[in-house]
Amino acid sequence: MNKSIRGRKAAPAQKADLYQQVTDKIIAALEKGVPPWRRPWRSAQNVHGSALPVNATTGRHYSGVNIPLLWMSAEERGFSSDRWLTYQQAKAVGGQVRKGETSSMAIIYKPFEKQATDGNDNKLFDKDGNPVMESLAMLKPLQLFNVAQCDGLPDAVAGMPPIEAEEERHSILSEQQQGQVLSVLNATGVVCTSYRQNRAYYQPSTDRIVMPTTSQFNSEADYWSTLLHELVHATGHSRRPSREGITSSSRKFGDPVYAFEELIAETGSAFLCAELGIYGDVQHESYLASWLKVLRDDKKAFFRACRFAREASDFLLQPLNRQPEQNKAA
C-alpha cells in the first residue's frame, strides 16, 4: 500500500551559487584561450564614444563583472550592439522581445555589513566593546536582452545601427585619444620611458613604467593599450589606491598575489580601452595557467578583481572627467 505523503514538506530548492556560475563561465572562456575581458574589437564602432555595455533606456553603463559577462554574451551570440535592457524595460517603451529569444545573465551586487559571529553564532566585539563588522554582499541574477533581440524599440533606445570599421583604422589612435592617455599618465606622476627592449613593466620601487618602442608592437593601438595596462598596475602604489600585488615585497612571478594583480591589470586596461575607444591588445598569455589556478581556488576572485579594476580605471579617468555613470548591477 502506498504511504501517504500528506503533510510532508518539499525539500527546499537549492539556491543557485552565482559566484560559481560566473566563475565557471570565465574559466571556460580562458580554457578556450579567449580571455573574457579582451573585448572582441571586431565588432562595430560605438557611436556613443564608449564600448562599455550600457542600459538602453537609462543610458547608464554596466560595471564590474557585468562588463566581461555582457561582452562574452554579445560575442557568443553575434550581437554588434552594446545596448541592453530588461524585458519590462523593452515593453515600457513600446518594444517587444521577439518570441523565442533567450536572455543573458548579469549580476546585481549589493554590498552590506553585518556583525560578525563565532562558530557558535555568538556576536563578536572588539576589545573596546564595539561590534566587529564584516563586509558581505547580496547577489541577484538580472536577465537582460540585447536591443538586437527586440522589435519596435524607439530609435533613441535601439541606438544607431553599428558602423563596421576597418581593422587598420582601429589600430591607429587619433591625436585626441593619444592626448587623453597622456593626460591620464601625467596626472599619476608616473615616469614613463620607452626604448628598444622586449618588456613592458611597472617598477614600484621607482614608480616608473618602462615600455618598448612603438615600432616593436603589432600596431600603434597595442602600444597604448599596453601602457594603460601598466598604468593600472601603477594605481596599486601606496600613494594611490594601493594593492597588495604592488606593495608586497614578497610577490614573485606565478604566485597567487602576482597572478591576481595581473588579473586586475588585464581587466582594468580592458575597461579603459573600451571607455577611450582604443582597440589594442595586450599579450599576456604566459599568465593563463596562474589565472586559472586563482579562479579555481576562489570562486569570488574574479568579482574582487573586477572591483579593483573598476576602482583603478575610475581613478585614472578622473583628469578626463570620464568616470562612467555606473548601473546598479555589479
| 256-276 and 301-317 helices, crossing angle to 10° | 50
Sequence length of the chain is 330
Q: Who has greater pLDDT, 48 or 269?
A: 269
- Per the CB < 8 A criterion, the answer to whether 242 and 230 are in contact is no
pLDDT tens per residue across span 62-111: 999 999 999 999 989 999 899 999 999 999 999 999 999 999 999 998 87
If DSSP states are collapsed to H, E and C, what string results for 35-63? CCCCCCCCCCECCCCCCCCEECCCCCECC
Mean pLDDT, range 188-193, rounded to an integer: 96
Q: Distance between CA 143 and CA 155 in Å, rounded?
A: 22
Instruction: Name which of 95, 90, 81, 73 is nearest 47 in CA terms.
Output: 81
Residue with cell string 571586431: 42
Least confident of 8-22, 33-47, 207-221: 33-47
Burial of 91 (0-12, 13-18, 19+ CB in 10 A): middle
At residue 133, the pLDDT reads: 86
Q: Is 235 helix (H, G, I), strand (E, B) or coil?
A: coil
pLDDT in tens, 300-325: 999 999 999 999 999 999 999 754 44
Q: Where are the domains of the chain?
A: 16-114+130-165, 167-323
pLDDT in tens, 250-263: 777 778 899 999 99
pLDDT at 163: 58
